[in-house]
Amino acid sequence: MTEATTARVGIVCGSRSDFPVMERAVEMLAKLKVPCELHAISAHRAPDLLFGFIAGAEARGIRVFIAAAGGAAHLPGVVASKTILPVIGVPIPTQVSGGLDSLLSIVQMPKGVPVATVAIGGAENAALLAVEILALGDPALRTRLQAYRDAQTRSIEDDESNSNLR
């Protein structure tokens, strides 16, 4: 969890076992200087705690949620049902079907309760999508995001210019 300034992204996982995947989102947000908080709160085992976390989020500065879950993957939808802030779902890989069950559970939200969904284990892209949303109203963040994307492009160009495949 980033504590230097008010968190703008609230990351919630169904279990601490999801942290190894979601710590990649925390790292990406830190790289772009976007403060966040990371919590493990089960929608099934601690619904009142989850509802309190969601209810107080906007007052704490949260503007976007990233919710990660595996298996039945109800957490992103439950978060979306309790807020009008954007929610980005991250399907966690599972042993049962590699995370396809998680992906389908998150992406099949009913009409009126949207959850943006990234690839299975796609924590970095969830973070980048959250940054894109936040950058709409933050010119300095937009500049940092553009610099990140430009560096990514230069890295590919550098790799290609050093390639022996020509």
Each domain of the chain, given as residue ranges in start order, spans 9-161
pLDDT of the residue at 1: 44
* Cα of 94 vs its chain's centroid, Å: 18
What does pLDDT average to over the chain? Answer: 93
Sign of CA dihedral 108, 114, 115, 116: positive
pLDDT of the residue at 5: 67
Q: What are phi and psi of 65, to 5 degrees?
A: -105, 145
pLDDT of the residue at 3: 44
pLDDT of the residue at 160: 73
Which of 3.40.50.1970, 3.90.1150.10, 3.90.470.10, 3.30.2270.10 would CATH assign to domain 9-161?
3.40.50.1970
pLDDT of the residue at 165: 56
Strand partners, 90: 68
| Burial environment of residue 128 by CB neighbours within 10 A (0 to 12, 13 to 18, 19 or more) | buried
What is the rounded distance in angstroms from the CA atom of residue 35 to the CA atom of residue 33? 6
CB atoms within 10 A of CB 47: 13
Residue carrying the six token digits 């109203």: 137
Whether the model clears a pTM of 0.75, i.e. scores above it, the answer is: yes
Cβ atoms 121, 52 nearer than 8 A: no
The conformation of residue 10, written as its DSSP 8-state character, comes to E
Strand partners, 12: 39, 67
Cβ atoms 61, 8 nearer than 8 A: yes
pLDDT of the residue at 164: 64
Low-confidence ranges of the chain (pLDDT < 50): 1-4
